[in-house]
Each structure stands twice: as structure tokens, then as C-alpha cells.
Amino acid sequence: MSHREGGRQAGQGKYLTLYPDLSMMIGNAGTLASRHSPNCGSSSLIEIIKVILLGIVEGITEFLPISSTGHLIVAVALLKPEISIEGTFEIFIQIGAVVAVIAYYWSDIWQQARTVRTDQTVQRLWLGIIIAAMPAGLAAFALRSLIKEALFNPTVVAISLIIGGIVLILIERRPLRETNTTALKAISLRQALLVGIAQTVALIPGVSRSAASIIGGMMGGLDRQTATQFSFYLAIPTLGGATIIDLLLSLDELQPNDLVYLVVGAVVSGIVAWLAIRWLLRYVASHNFVQFGIYRVIAGIVILILVAATVL
């Protein structure tokens, strides 16, 4: 086994989420409402800086179990970008995150591709990944309109952050099991399906795809590190598939003047996401998720306060 086997607009108007959770799969591929040429001088430079900052926020929070939805809502409220960060920009940001996962695990994936015809453990691993990706995809297709209309608002995001944080804390406080699955290739199809079912909860904005899939894995008997790694692998078909579909649906929305913002956002998000993946895998080797749970609760409370103060 390779050493590497051993994270929309929320509401109306100014709220957004850049495909941070599985709620990404139900966001419309909209347009950039305000278009600015890259040759607009200082104003354009300021907007690029804002895009870079948003890319950093997205990259850091995409694969951590904290949901990038809430963080991006606050970031946009503070930065007040002149461009409307939705639609095509969301898709390109997500491309950066997906590429980051593939790049991080490239040597493992390449080796698995070379042996998949003869290695039954590799076959089972990727069959499990496909099975785990299916429940969320089917649920997103069936509930797309309902979720978009009823749940895309900052209050839902805040409540999801708080509840998810409490669940993370409780999961880590439970008595340790004597037997855990400690390797990716040892994950059973039943465990993969359980992770996939848990991942569907992330259709609710603020839950976090990473948190939902990691919790599902740990509840199914995976140890912390293996659950985290499987969550990253699962991001490839889950986020990648949704991104490809949205990109194909949005090709007619692409404008030459947007390319600078799109490319910058994707590159920054990808680089930061790669670093976040590496950091989290090292972190979970010797730490639990309690700190993330506490952070989620605090972040949710802060968002509720901002909503009450009409900042969001």
C-alpha cells in the first residue's frame, strides 16, 4: 500500500456558497452579473486581490470538516467584491479543489490504474467509491429545486455548522472500538455505502461534504485517518462529476473578460486546497476532530449574530 493511503449563494442577493458542500450539486450555473475588464486599472487589481482572498478561503475550508459555505458568506460580506461571485466562478473554484485531490494522490491513483485489472482490492476500493458517490447524486437530482428554494440561507448554514460541530464532538467522545478498518483497500462495500448515505446530508448548506463523509466513515468502523482519506478519494467523482456537468451547462456564459478572475480563483483554490489536504492528513494522525467541532459551533454562533445584526 502506498504511504498516502496510511473538505451558492446562501439566501438571496448577497449570500453565496462556492460549492463547498454537496449543496454545490444543486446550485445553478449562473452568470457573473457585473463584468469588469482585466484592463480596468486599480479597480481591476483590487478585484483580483479579492478573488485571491476568496480562493484562499475556499481552498482552506473545502476539505476541512468545517464547511466553506459559512466562511465564504462572511468573507464576501467583509470584502464586498464588485463582481458577482457565482455561477461560472463557482465552477472554476471547484475545478481547482478537484485537481488538488488528484494531484495529491496522483502516484497512488496511477499505481492503482496500472494494477486495477489484476488487483481485486483496488477494484473493490473504486467500486466502493462509485457506490458511495451514488446516493448524493441521486438525492441531488431528485431534491434540487426543493433544497435550493428552502435551504439556501445563512440561518440554515449557521444551524448546520452548530449541529455538525456537536456531532463531531460526540463522535470523538464515544468509547473507542476495539476493531477499526485502518486501510483504504480494506473498506467494505457496506462501509462505502454508509459513507455515501451520510454524504447526502451535505446537500444541506453548511453541513460540509467532508464532515458528513468522515462522520459516516467513522460510524461505519473506519479509523479517523482512513475515513479522512476515503473522503478525499470520494471527492473525485462527487465534486468532479458535479463540476463537469455544471461546466458543460455554463459554457455559453463564459466571457473572455472573466478569464483572469476564473483562472486566478481556480489556481489559488487548488494550491491552497492541496496544502490543506496535506496538513489535515498529518493532523489526524495524532489529533481528533473535537477542535473542528468546537470551531464549527463558534462559527455558527457568529453567523447567527451577524444575521441578527443584519450584517448578513
How high is the pLDDT of residue 23? 54
Average pLDDT value for residue range 192-207: 95
Within 8 A by CB and 6+ apart from 62, the residues are 7, 20, 68, 97, 210, 269, 273, 276
Name the average pLDDT for the chain.
84
Least confident of 55-69, 70-84, 153-167: 70-84
Contact 209, 21 (CB under 8 A): yes
Q: How confident is the model at residue 74 (pLDDT cuts 50, 70, 90)?
A: confident
Q: How confident is the model at residue 176 (pLDDT cuts 50, 70, 90)?
A: low
Q: Exposure pattern of 35-66 as b/e (b: 16+ CB <10 Å)?
A: ebebeeeeebeebbebbbebbbbbbbbbbbbb
How high is the pLDDT of residue 11? 40
pLDDT higher than threshold 90 for residue 92 = no
pTM, to two decimals: 0.84
How high is the pLDDT of residue 1? 53
